[in-house]
Amino acid sequence: MTLQLTRQPRTAFSLRRIMRHPRMMEYNRLFALVAFTNLVLLVWWLQTGVLMKGTSVQLDRLGDIALANFSLGILVRQQRVVNFLFWFATRIPTSWPLWIRWRAANVFHFGGLHTGGNTAGSLWFALLLVGMVHNRAQEAAIPSDLTLGLTGVMLALMIFIIMCALPKIRARNHNRFQKTHRFGGWILLALFWAQTMSLAHDFALSPLEQPVTWALTLITLSVISPWLTLKRVKVEIVKPSGHAVAARFNYGDTPFPGSSNAISHTPFGEYHAFANVPKPGESGYRLIISRAGDWTGAFIDNPPSYVWVKGITTSGVARIEVLFKKVVYVGTGSGIGPILPHLFARDVPCHLIWSTRSPRKTYGALVDEIEAHASDALIWDTDARGKPDLTLLAYQALRDTGAEAVIVISNQKLTRQIVYDLECLGIPAYGAIWDS
């Protein structure tokens, strides 16, 4: 198969290659925006001297800005906030210029605010500890030993949590990442409350009069919220092969296309989120789970009768499809799971390219469902035909069908490659990122 890709003028193409490089993706731009904003504030405060009162550091300013950053980092990942962000971004009608919709569809990069806010908050918190030590060195009675000790322990815990969340460490030790983020975060939140009470005692203030108390209350409610919906539900497993299963749920929740739910074998165990596959006219939903590690392997080899579901149905990448008049979906393997509900619902005209090994042998009757709802789908059997050039296939499909955008559901490396190649050609392309 041969196809000549239409290139942009050399200068424009080169600039686009730089601006659309994965390291320049919106996630990193949002992280940089948070970092730059905090840096500007720090320089301004240092120049105006508002951080000092005589020889003492103004601890309240450092504490407030640290908590403001933590609030941003934590609340932006709250499921209801995530759903609101997607709802707001997808209010833009398809009659608006493509360049506006192109940008709005990057809403799923909100994780840059999460990491940016928490990283900046930790750095401000480190300055808070330095300020406390400085004030005590000036023979000030405040902060107390208890406050100073709590702050030191909290900073050490923050550093540990951040280290475990670094991409390479997180990828190698996902279980450890989940445990440190959850249980370490809970301990840290409790220590924040203890520190707040200790500071209020140090300065002889009522906690109810302090903004930090209300910010912590909001954060605490945000952290507790997903666990209030925790439930043990029955699951029916259809196992077409040893590589993949379809898990069916029907406990009164029929989610919307483009959403996901998190499941676990135990209430406080390791949770994994999978794309929901509802079908019009049917209650409940399915999850397509393929072998991709120890947890999914154990799930397939020993299918459970019950699992735990936490939180509410949460928007995912593919929900952005409504911003476009027509889209091309590119999926590999179990990446068909997040695409299926959109094929079934047909809220937006779409064309499917699905590359996988022995589709019927691996996914069974699921292939018949796909063909029934997407008769023009290109299902590429990699066992029979080898690995395709998915960028080329996506470009051709977009040209032939008149689609406006491409949505890729695959592994991280291939997703980034296809998205980058297409964006360099001036085509709106999207794919889940590691923190989306």
More confident residue, 18 or 377: 377
When pLDDT is averaged across residues 282-292 and rounded to a whole number, the result is 92
Residue 174, pLDDT > 80, answer no
Instruction: Give the confidence band of 169 by pLDDT, cuts at 50, 70, 90.
Output: confident
Supply the pLDDT for residue 254: 93
pLDDT digits (tens, 9 = 90+) for 222-266: 999 999 999 999 999 999 999 999 999 999 999 999 999 999 999
Supply the pLDDT for residue 13: 58
pLDDT digits (tens, 9 = 90+) for 340-377: 999 999 999 999 999 999 999 999 999 999 999 998 99
Supply the pLDDT for residue 435: 59
Residues 6 or more apart whose Cβ sits within 8 Å of residue 282: 254
Residue 313, pLDDT > 80, answer yes
When pLDDT is averaged across residues 275-285 and rounded to a whole number, the result is 93
Residue 180, pLDDT > 50, answer yes
pLDDT digits (tens, 9 = 90+) for 80-106: 999 999 999 999 999 999 999 999 999
Closest by alpha carbon to 275, among 305, 314, 244? 314
Supply the pLDDT for residue 8: 46
Pairing of strands 285-290, 272-277: antiparallel
Supply the pLDDT for residue 217: 96
Instruction: Give the confidence band of 2 by pLDDT, cuts at 50, 70, 90.
Output: very low
When pLDDT is averaged across residues 405-428 and rounded to a whole number, the result is 94
Name the token pair of 182.
């959850």
More confident residue, 241 or 19: 241
Supply the pLDDT for residue 12: 52
Helix axes 26-48, 59-75, angle to 10 degrees: 170
**Rounded distance between C-alpha atoms, residue 213 and residue 210, angstroms:** 6
Q: Domains of the chain (ranges plus CATH)?
A: 22-224 (no CATH), 228-317 (2.40.30.10), 320-431 (3.40.50.80)
Residue 209, pLDDT > 50, answer yes
Range name among 176-180, 218-222, 363-367, 419-423 with the lowest pLDDT average: 176-180
Q: Is 412 exposed, middle or buried (0-12, 13-18, 19+ CB in 10 A)?
A: middle
Range name among 137-141, 184-188, 429-433 with the lowest pLDDT average: 137-141
Q: Mark 38-49 as b/e (b = at least 16 C-beta within 10 Å).
A: beeebeebeeee
Q: What is the torsion angle, in degrees rounded to the nearest 10, for the CA atoms of residue 345, residue 347, residue 350 and residue 353?
A: -40
Supply the pLDDT for residue 7: 41
When pLDDT is averaged across residues 43-48 and rounded to a whole number, the result is 94
When pLDDT is averaged across residues 180-185 and rounded to a whole number, the result is 92
Instruction: Give the confidence band of 323 by pLDDT, cuts at 50, 70, 90.
Output: very high
Q: What percent of the chain has pLDDT over 70?
A: 96
Q: State the chain's mean pLDDT as an integer.
A: 91
Instruction: Give the confidence band of 24 by pLDDT, cuts at 50, 70, 90.
Output: confident
What long-range pairs does 171-177 form, CB within 8 A, spacing at least 24? 171/434, 174/270, 174/293, 175/270
Say which DSSP state 230 is in: -
Element (H, E) at 71: helix 59-75
**Residue 251 near residue 234 (C-beta atoms within 8 A):** yes
Range name among 32-46, 172-186, 369-383 with the lowest pLDDT average: 172-186
Provide the whole-model pTM. 0.91
